[in-house]
Amino acid sequence: MAYPKLRKAVFPAAGLGTRFLPATKSIPKEMLCLVDKPLIQYGVEEAVAAGCTEIIIVTGRDKGAMEDHFDSSPELEAALAAKNKQSLLDVVRSVSKLAKTVYTRQAEPLGLGHAVLMAKDIVGDEPFCVLLPDDIVDARVPCLKQMVEAFYETQSSILASEVIEGPAISAYGVLDCTPMPQNPRLLAVKGMVEKPKFEEAPSQNAIIGRYILTPRIFAMIESIKPGASGELQLTDAIKALLQHEKVYGFHYEGKRHDAGDKLGFLKATVEFALKRDDLGPPFREWLKNLPV
Protein backbone atom coordinates (compact mmCIF):
# COMPACT_ATOMS: atom_id res chain seq x y z
CA MET A 1 0.00 0.00 0.00
CA ALA A 2 1.41 3.40 -0.98
CA TYR A 3 1.30 6.27 1.50
CA PRO A 4 -0.87 9.30 0.67
CA LYS A 5 0.74 12.45 -0.71
CA LEU A 6 2.87 14.46 1.75
CA ARG A 7 0.87 17.51 2.84
CA LYS A 8 2.07 18.51 6.28
CA ALA A 9 5.32 20.06 7.46
CA VAL A 10 6.24 20.38 11.14
CA PHE A 11 8.61 23.15 12.30
CA PRO A 12 9.96 22.63 15.83
CA ALA A 13 10.56 26.19 17.02
CA ALA A 14 10.26 26.00 20.79
CA GLY A 15 13.95 25.74 21.67
CA LEU A 16 15.76 28.28 23.84
CA GLY A 17 18.28 29.35 21.19
CA THR A 18 21.04 29.64 23.78
CA ARG A 19 23.80 29.73 21.13
CA PHE A 20 22.43 33.06 19.99
CA LEU A 21 22.06 34.90 23.28
CA PRO A 22 21.52 37.72 24.03
CA ALA A 23 19.60 38.21 20.72
CA THR A 24 17.31 35.31 21.57
CA LYS A 25 16.42 36.54 25.04
CA SER A 26 13.20 38.01 23.69
CA ILE A 27 13.35 37.36 19.92
CA PRO A 28 12.73 33.78 18.78
CA LYS A 29 15.83 32.44 17.03
CA GLU A 30 13.57 31.39 14.15
CA MET A 31 12.72 35.08 13.56
CA LEU A 32 16.34 36.19 13.09
CA CYS A 33 16.70 37.47 9.53
CA LEU A 34 19.05 36.45 6.75
CA VAL A 35 19.20 39.76 4.87
CA ASP A 36 15.49 40.65 5.18
CA LYS A 37 13.66 37.36 5.67
CA PRO A 38 13.24 35.41 8.94
CA LEU A 39 14.87 31.98 9.07
CA ILE A 40 11.53 30.25 9.49
CA GLN A 41 10.14 31.82 6.31
CA TYR A 42 12.94 30.25 4.26
CA GLY A 43 11.87 26.87 5.67
CA VAL A 44 8.16 27.47 5.10
CA GLU A 45 8.82 28.49 1.47
CA GLU A 46 10.87 25.31 1.01
CA ALA A 47 8.02 23.17 2.40
CA VAL A 48 5.49 24.88 0.13
CA ALA A 49 7.79 24.38 -2.88
CA ALA A 50 7.90 20.67 -1.97
CA GLY A 51 4.10 20.46 -2.13
CA CYS A 52 3.16 20.90 1.54
CA THR A 53 -0.08 22.78 2.14
CA GLU A 54 -0.27 22.70 5.93
CA ILE A 55 2.44 24.20 8.12
CA ILE A 56 2.52 23.17 11.77
CA ILE A 57 4.76 25.30 13.96
CA VAL A 58 5.63 24.03 17.43
CA THR A 59 6.12 27.13 19.54
CA GLY A 60 6.94 27.90 23.14
CA ARG A 61 6.96 30.95 25.40
CA ASP A 62 7.69 34.35 23.81
CA LYS A 63 7.19 33.05 20.30
CA GLY A 64 4.22 35.27 19.32
CA ALA A 65 6.30 37.08 16.69
CA MET A 66 6.12 33.99 14.48
CA GLU A 67 2.32 33.89 14.61
CA ASP A 68 2.17 37.60 13.76
CA HIS A 69 4.61 37.13 10.89
CA PHE A 70 2.50 34.53 9.07
CA ASP A 71 -0.79 36.31 9.82
CA SER A 72 -2.26 39.16 7.77
CA SER A 73 -1.36 42.65 9.03
CA PRO A 74 -4.30 44.96 8.15
CA GLU A 75 -2.78 48.18 9.54
CA LEU A 76 0.54 47.75 7.75
CA GLU A 77 -1.25 46.74 4.54
CA ALA A 78 -3.54 49.80 4.73
CA ALA A 79 -0.56 52.11 5.32
CA LEU A 80 1.37 50.66 2.35
CA ALA A 81 -1.73 50.85 0.13
CA ALA A 82 -2.30 54.50 1.11
CA LYS A 83 1.27 55.30 0.07
CA ASN A 84 0.97 53.35 -3.20
CA LYS A 85 3.80 51.03 -2.19
CA GLN A 86 2.44 48.14 -4.25
CA SER A 87 5.54 45.94 -4.39
CA LEU A 88 6.01 46.07 -0.61
CA LEU A 89 2.31 45.38 -0.18
CA ASP A 90 2.65 42.31 -2.39
CA VAL A 91 5.62 41.09 -0.30
CA VAL A 92 3.70 41.55 2.96
CA ARG A 93 0.54 39.86 1.64
CA SER A 94 2.39 36.94 0.10
CA VAL A 95 3.82 35.91 3.50
CA SER A 96 0.37 35.43 5.02
CA LYS A 97 -0.85 33.55 1.95
CA LEU A 98 2.00 31.01 1.79
CA ALA A 99 0.05 28.12 3.34
CA LYS A 100 -2.41 27.23 6.05
CA THR A 101 -0.41 27.66 9.25
CA VAL A 102 -1.36 26.16 12.60
CA TYR A 103 0.42 26.35 15.94
CA THR A 104 0.85 23.99 18.82
CA ARG A 105 2.76 24.56 22.04
CA GLN A 106 5.58 22.71 23.67
CA ALA A 107 5.28 23.79 27.30
CA GLU A 108 8.94 23.06 28.05
CA PRO A 109 11.83 22.46 25.64
CA LEU A 110 12.15 18.76 26.41
CA GLY A 111 13.95 17.88 23.19
CA LEU A 112 13.39 17.60 19.46
CA GLY A 113 11.56 14.26 19.77
CA HIS A 114 9.20 15.80 22.31
CA ALA A 115 8.63 18.85 20.08
CA VAL A 116 7.66 16.60 17.14
CA LEU A 117 5.34 14.62 19.43
CA MET A 118 3.41 17.84 20.14
CA ALA A 119 2.24 17.74 16.49
CA LYS A 120 0.86 14.19 16.73
CA ASP A 121 -2.86 15.04 16.79
CA ILE A 122 -2.57 17.60 14.00
CA VAL A 123 -0.53 15.31 11.75
CA GLY A 124 -2.68 12.22 12.35
CA ASP A 125 -2.02 8.95 10.58
CA GLU A 126 -0.06 10.15 7.56
CA PRO A 127 3.60 10.69 6.69
CA PHE A 128 4.90 14.20 7.23
CA CYS A 129 7.96 16.42 6.89
CA VAL A 130 10.03 17.99 9.68
CA LEU A 131 12.17 21.04 9.00
CA LEU A 132 14.49 22.61 11.58
CA PRO A 133 14.25 26.31 10.82
CA ASP A 134 17.85 27.11 11.71
CA ASP A 135 19.21 24.78 9.03
CA ILE A 136 18.98 26.77 5.82
CA VAL A 137 19.61 24.80 2.65
CA ASP A 138 20.46 26.79 -0.45
CA ALA A 139 19.70 24.53 -3.41
CA ARG A 140 18.69 24.72 -7.06
CA VAL A 141 15.89 22.21 -6.38
CA PRO A 142 14.67 22.81 -2.80
CA CYS A 143 16.15 20.17 -0.47
CA LEU A 144 12.76 18.97 0.78
CA LYS A 145 11.48 18.61 -2.79
CA GLN A 146 14.43 16.31 -3.57
CA MET A 147 13.58 14.30 -0.47
CA VAL A 148 9.87 14.07 -1.31
CA GLU A 149 10.80 12.42 -4.61
CA ALA A 150 12.99 9.93 -2.72
CA PHE A 151 10.10 9.27 -0.32
CA TYR A 152 7.69 8.44 -3.13
CA GLU A 153 10.33 6.04 -4.49
CA THR A 154 11.10 4.28 -1.19
CA GLN A 155 7.82 4.70 0.75
CA SER A 156 10.02 4.98 3.84
CA SER A 157 11.30 7.61 6.24
CA ILE A 158 14.06 9.76 4.74
CA LEU A 159 16.70 11.72 6.68
CA ALA A 160 18.70 14.43 4.93
CA SER A 161 22.39 13.79 5.38
CA GLU A 162 25.61 15.68 4.79
CA VAL A 163 29.20 14.45 4.86
CA ILE A 164 31.02 16.16 7.74
CA GLU A 165 34.76 15.70 7.90
CA GLY A 166 36.82 15.64 11.09
CA PRO A 167 35.86 16.12 14.74
CA ALA A 168 32.95 18.45 13.86
CA ILE A 169 30.92 15.25 13.33
CA SER A 170 30.52 15.05 17.14
CA ALA A 171 27.91 17.80 17.01
CA TYR A 172 25.49 15.69 14.94
CA GLY A 173 23.41 12.55 14.87
CA VAL A 174 25.46 10.19 12.69
CA LEU A 175 24.25 7.38 10.42
CA ASP A 176 25.57 3.84 10.31
CA CYS A 177 24.65 3.19 6.68
CA THR A 178 25.52 1.82 3.24
CA PRO A 179 24.88 3.54 -0.12
CA MET A 180 22.13 2.03 -2.28
CA PRO A 181 23.56 0.72 -5.58
CA GLN A 182 20.57 1.88 -7.70
CA ASN A 183 20.61 5.43 -6.30
CA PRO A 184 23.91 6.66 -4.81
CA ARG A 185 22.13 9.57 -3.08
CA LEU A 186 20.19 7.06 -0.94
CA LEU A 187 21.79 5.42 2.10
CA ALA A 188 20.28 2.32 3.70
CA VAL A 189 20.36 3.06 7.44
CA LYS A 190 21.37 0.29 9.87
CA GLY A 191 21.70 2.44 12.96
CA MET A 192 22.56 5.89 14.23
CA VAL A 193 24.38 7.53 17.12
CA GLU A 194 23.59 10.96 18.58
CA LYS A 195 26.65 13.21 18.98
CA PRO A 196 29.31 10.44 18.99
CA LYS A 197 32.95 10.98 19.91
CA PHE A 198 34.97 11.54 16.71
CA GLU A 199 36.72 8.14 17.05
CA GLU A 200 33.40 6.36 17.62
CA ALA A 201 31.36 7.91 14.79
CA PRO A 202 29.98 5.10 12.58
CA SER A 203 30.46 7.20 9.40
CA GLN A 204 30.86 10.78 8.19
CA ASN A 205 27.15 10.94 7.28
CA ALA A 206 25.57 13.47 9.62
CA ILE A 207 21.82 13.98 9.94
CA ILE A 208 20.78 17.56 9.22
CA GLY A 209 17.51 19.37 9.83
CA ARG A 210 15.21 17.88 7.18
CA TYR A 211 13.23 14.69 7.74
CA ILE A 212 10.33 12.86 6.16
CA LEU A 213 8.80 10.52 8.72
CA THR A 214 6.12 7.87 8.66
CA PRO A 215 3.38 8.24 11.30
CA ARG A 216 4.69 5.29 13.34
CA ILE A 217 7.36 7.68 14.62
CA PHE A 218 4.87 9.06 17.16
CA ALA A 219 4.48 5.66 18.88
CA MET A 220 8.28 5.37 18.82
CA ILE A 221 8.73 8.76 20.50
CA GLU A 222 6.21 7.72 23.13
CA SER A 223 8.14 4.49 23.71
CA ILE A 224 11.61 5.97 24.31
CA LYS A 225 13.12 7.32 27.51
CA PRO A 226 14.81 10.73 27.84
CA GLY A 227 18.56 10.67 27.16
CA ALA A 228 21.36 11.83 29.48
CA SER A 229 20.38 15.48 28.84
CA GLY A 230 16.82 14.78 30.04
CA GLU A 231 15.52 15.37 26.49
CA LEU A 232 13.53 13.07 24.22
CA GLN A 233 15.81 12.69 21.20
CA LEU A 234 14.31 12.30 17.74
CA THR A 235 17.29 10.13 16.75
CA ASP A 236 16.45 7.63 19.52
CA ALA A 237 12.89 7.40 18.18
CA ILE A 238 14.13 6.89 14.60
CA LYS A 239 16.45 4.16 15.91
CA ALA A 240 13.38 2.48 17.43
CA LEU A 241 11.54 2.92 14.10
CA LEU A 242 14.32 0.94 12.41
CA GLN A 243 13.15 -2.15 14.29
CA HIS A 244 9.89 -1.98 12.30
CA GLU A 245 10.55 -0.19 9.02
CA LYS A 246 13.28 0.76 6.58
CA VAL A 247 14.82 4.21 6.98
CA TYR A 248 17.02 5.93 4.39
CA GLY A 249 19.59 8.69 4.54
CA PHE A 250 19.61 11.08 1.59
CA HIS A 251 22.53 13.08 0.22
CA TYR A 252 20.77 16.18 -1.07
CA GLU A 253 22.22 18.52 -3.64
CA GLY A 254 22.79 21.99 -2.17
CA LYS A 255 24.61 23.92 0.52
CA ARG A 256 23.50 23.94 4.14
CA HIS A 257 24.09 26.80 6.55
CA ASP A 258 23.82 26.31 10.31
CA ALA A 259 22.12 29.63 10.93
CA GLY A 260 21.45 28.75 14.59
CA ASP A 261 25.12 29.34 15.27
CA LYS A 262 26.63 32.84 15.16
CA LEU A 263 29.44 32.06 12.72
CA GLY A 264 27.17 29.98 10.47
CA PHE A 265 24.63 32.80 10.50
CA LEU A 266 27.24 35.38 9.47
CA LYS A 267 28.47 33.20 6.59
CA ALA A 268 24.91 32.62 5.39
CA THR A 269 24.13 36.35 5.58
CA VAL A 270 27.13 37.21 3.40
CA GLU A 271 26.36 34.49 0.82
CA PHE A 272 22.66 35.36 0.61
CA ALA A 273 23.38 39.09 0.32
CA LEU A 274 25.93 38.50 -2.46
CA LYS A 275 23.31 36.56 -4.45
CA ARG A 276 20.75 39.35 -4.36
CA ASP A 277 20.28 41.36 -7.56
CA ASP A 278 19.64 44.57 -5.64
CA LEU A 279 22.25 44.26 -2.87
CA GLY A 280 24.87 41.92 -4.36
CA PRO A 281 26.85 44.33 -6.58
CA PRO A 282 27.30 47.19 -4.06
CA PHE A 283 27.89 44.71 -1.22
CA ARG A 284 30.59 42.89 -3.24
CA GLU A 285 32.32 46.22 -3.96
CA TRP A 286 32.22 47.13 -0.28
CA LEU A 287 33.59 43.72 0.76
CA LYS A 288 36.52 44.09 -1.67
CA ASN A 289 37.67 47.19 0.16
CA LEU A 290 37.59 45.63 3.62
CA PRO A 291 41.05 45.28 5.18
CA VAL A 292 40.92 41.47 5.58
- In terms of CB distance, is 58 or 201 closer to ligand UTP? 58
Supply the minimum distance, in Å, between the C-beta of residue 87 and ligand UTP: 31
Strand partners, 191: 176
Choosing from 38, 111, 127, 249, the residue that interacts with ligand UTP (CB under 6 A) is 111
Choosing from 110, 122, 240, 270, the residue that interacts with ligand UTP (CB under 6 A) is 110
Looking at beta carbons, which residue is closest to ligand UTP? 15
Cβ within 8 Å of residue 62, ≥6 positions away: 26, 28
Q: Which of residues 166-185 bind ligand UTP (CB under 6 A)?
A: none
Interface with ligand UTP by CB under 6 A: which range of 41-49, 132-140, 160-168, 187-195?
132-140
Note whether 106 binds ligand UTP by CB under 6 A. yes
- In terms of CB distance, is 69 or 114 closer to ligand UTP? 114
**28, exposed or middle or buried, with CB in 10 Å at 0-12, 13-18, 19+?**
buried
Distance CA 191, CA 57 (A): 28
Contact 57, 47 (CB under 8 A): no
Q: What share of the chain is helix, strand, coil (3-state, %, to 5)?
A: 40, 25, 35
Note whether 133 binds ligand UTP by CB under 6 A. yes
- In terms of CB distance, is 128 or 186 closer to ligand UTP? 128
Cβ within 8 Å of residue 159, ≥6 positions away: 175, 189, 207, 210, 211, 238, 247, 248, 249, 250
What ranges in the chain are assigned the alpha helix state H? 39-49, 64-70, 74-82, 86-96, 112-117, 120-123, 143-154, 217-223, 234-241, 262-275, 280-288
Note whether 12 binds ligand UTP by CB under 6 A. yes
Note whether 227 binds ligand UTP by CB under 6 A. no
Cβ within 8 Å of residue 274, ≥6 positions away: 280, 283, 284, 287
Supply the minimum distance, in Å, between the C-beta of residue 218 and ligand UTP: 16
Note whether 13 binds ligand UTP by CB under 6 A. yes
What angle is formed at CA 180 by the lines to CA 179 and CA 185, rounded to 5 degrees?
70
Choosing from 6, 8, 10, 29, the residue that interacts with ligand UTP (CB under 6 A) is 29
Choosing from 52, 66, 132, 247, the residue that interacts with ligand UTP (CB under 6 A) is 132
Interface with ligand UTP by CB under 6 A: which range of 15-23, 66-74, 189-197, 241-249?
15-23
Chain contacts with ligand UTP (rule: CB under 6 A): 12-20, 29-30, 58, 106, 109-112, 114-115, 132-134, 260
